[in-house]
Amino acid sequence: MYNERLQNVSVLGAAGKMGSGILLLTAVEMADLQLKPENKNKSFCLNAIDVSPQALTGLYGYLKSQLKKIAEKKLIQLREVYKENRELIENSEIIDQYVDDVLKLVLFSTKVESTYESSIIFEAIVENSDIKVATFKQILANSKKDPWFLTNTSSVPIGELDEKAEMKGKILGFHFYNPPAVQKLVELITTKNTNPELIEFSKIYAKNLRKVLVPSNDFAGFIGNGHFMRDMLFGIKQATQLSKEMSLPEAIYAVNRVSQDFLIRPMGIFQLMDYVGVDVCQKILIVMSSRLNKSELHSDLIDKLISLDIKGGQNSDGSQKPGILKYEKGKPVAIYSIDKKEYVPIESFQKNVDAKLGQLPASHKPWKDIVGNKQKESLLVGYFKELKSMSTIGASLAKEYHLSSKNIGLELVSDKISDNADNVNTVMLTGFFHAYGPINSYLD
C-alpha cells in the first residue's frame, strides 16, 4: 500500500519555504523506492505545483543543489545501488546519476489539475481555510484516484477542513517544522474520522524520513504554535510594560536578550518572530483567536507593524529579511522604531540597557554550549538555582518569562491540546531547539 500510494504524488505550494522542503524529502523517498530492484518496472511521478512559474524555476535550482549534498552523504549506499552500472566509476558520476534520477521524477506545474492522477497530496499553500477548502473540493471532484491529503497547516483545525471540504476522513495534519529538510519534528493531527490506513501511511512515511512524530489533538495552533503564540504574546506584553521606562526599541532589545541569553534559548522571542514572519504570526493568531474564542490571542503591536509593512521572513537564499530587527550577516544590528519609522542601531543604546538588566548569573553558559552537553541537566539546575536568588531586572524578567512559559505548557495539557507534558516538551525541544522543555521544576 505504501509503495503504491507513493507512485504518483503532488505537492501544492511546492516553491514555498515549507513546500520546497517537503518536495525534496518526498522526491528522495520516491527515488529510493524506485531504485530498489523490485520496483524497477514501476513508474513514479512527483508533481511540484505552485502558482508562480518564476518560483518553480528557482525550485529546480534548489532541488539540484540539495540533492547533490544528499548524494554526497549517502555515497556508499549509492555505490551499492548502482553497482550493476559499469559506466559509473567516479564518485562524481554516481552523484550526478542519482541527482538526475531524482529530478526525472519531478514534473513542474502551475495547475491544480496536475494532482488529478495523484494518490497522495501534500498541501503547503497559504494559511487560509477558505482557499484550502476550495482547492481540496476541486481536486476531490475531479480526481481519477481516491487521494489522501497531508496538510502542512500550522493552525487550521483538521476537522474543520475535513467537514467543509467533505473529505470523509481522507485528510490529516502533517505539520513539518521549518526548514523541513533539517527539522526532525513533525506534528501529527488526526480526527475521529481520519482514515486509519492514512494514519498508518503517515507513520511509515515519517519513520522513513527519520522524523520525530508527535501527536497533537485537533485544536487551532496545535502544540507548537499553541505554545509559541502565547509565549510570543507574553514577550510583547513584557516589552510593552518596559516601554514605560525606556523607548520601545530598547524594551524590545531587552526582552529579546532576556528570552535568549537569560533563558538559554537559540534566539530571542522577537528574532524568532522575524524568522517565522511577523505576517505569518498575525495570520496564526487570527486563526487561533477565532477558533478558540480567546480574544487575548491578539497583538496590537503586530497589527501596527504589519500596517507599516514590517514583515520579516527569509529571502530566497535563506538569509533573514528585516523585520522587527534588522540583520547583518545574520546578526541583529538595529530595531524598528514605530514612532520614528526607521531602524535604530542597537549599539546606540545597548550598553545602557544591558546595565539596567544586570549581569547574567556567573554559571551561565550560552545555548550552544548547553544544548548538546552531557551534563546539561545538572548545569541547568545550577544555573536556575542561581537565577532564582537574583533580583536584578534581567533576572526578574527571566523568572517571570520562564514561569509563564511553564504555565502555557501546563495549559496545553489541561485544555487537552496535548495528551501529556512530555509531548509539549518534545515539541519545544525538537521543533524549536530549546535546551529544555517548558514544563520543568527548575524554579520550583
Sorted by sequence, the CB contacts under 8 Å of residue 385 that are 6+ apart come out as 442
> Closest Cα partner for 164 from 135, 190, 143?
135
Name the one residue in this structure whose C-alpha cell is 529544555.
436
d(CA 258, CA 387): 12
Report the C-alpha gap between 10 and 30 in whole angstroms.
12
What are 41's three cell numbers?
518496472
Question: In the chain, what are the domain boundaries?
Answer: 2-216, 224-431
Question: Which residue, 163, 64, 170, is CA-closest to 118?
Answer: 170
pTM: 0.94
177, 176, 168, 163: which is closest to 195 by C-alpha?
168
DSSP bridge partners of 320: 314
Each residue's pLDDT expressed in tens, for the chain with a length of 444 residues: 899 999 999 999 999 989 999 999 999 999 999 999 898 889 999 999 999 999 999 999 999 999 999 999 999 999 998 888 888 888 999 999 999 999 999 999 999 999 999 999 999 999 999 999 999 999 999 999 999 999 999 999 999 999 999 999 999 999 999 899 999 999 999 999 999 999 999 999 999 999 999 999 999 999 999 999 999 999 999 999 999 999 999 999 999 999 999 999 999 999 999 999 999 999 999 999 999 998 899 999 999 999 999 999 988 777 899 999 999 999 999 999 999 999 999 999 999 999 999 999 999 999 999 999 999 999 999 999 999 999 999 999 999 999 999 999 999 999 999 999 999 999 999 999 999 999 999 999
The reported pLDDT for the residue numbered 1 is 84
Per-residue pLDDT at 23: 98
Cα separation, 264 vs 258, in Å, equals: 9
Alpha-carbon distance of 312 to 333, in angstroms, equals 14
CA-CA distance, 79 to 303, in Å (whole number)?
A: 54
**Greatest C-alpha distance within the chain:** 73
2-216, CATH topology level: Rossmann fold (3.40.50)
DSSP state of 9: E
Please tell me the class of the 224-431 domain.
mainly alpha
| DSSP single-letter state for residue 147 | -
8 A C-beta contact, residue 430 and residue 185:
yes
Return d(Cα 287, Cα 299) in angstroms, integer.
13
CA gap 176, 19 in Å, rounded: 10
How far is it, in rounded angstroms, from Cα 310 to Cα 274? 9
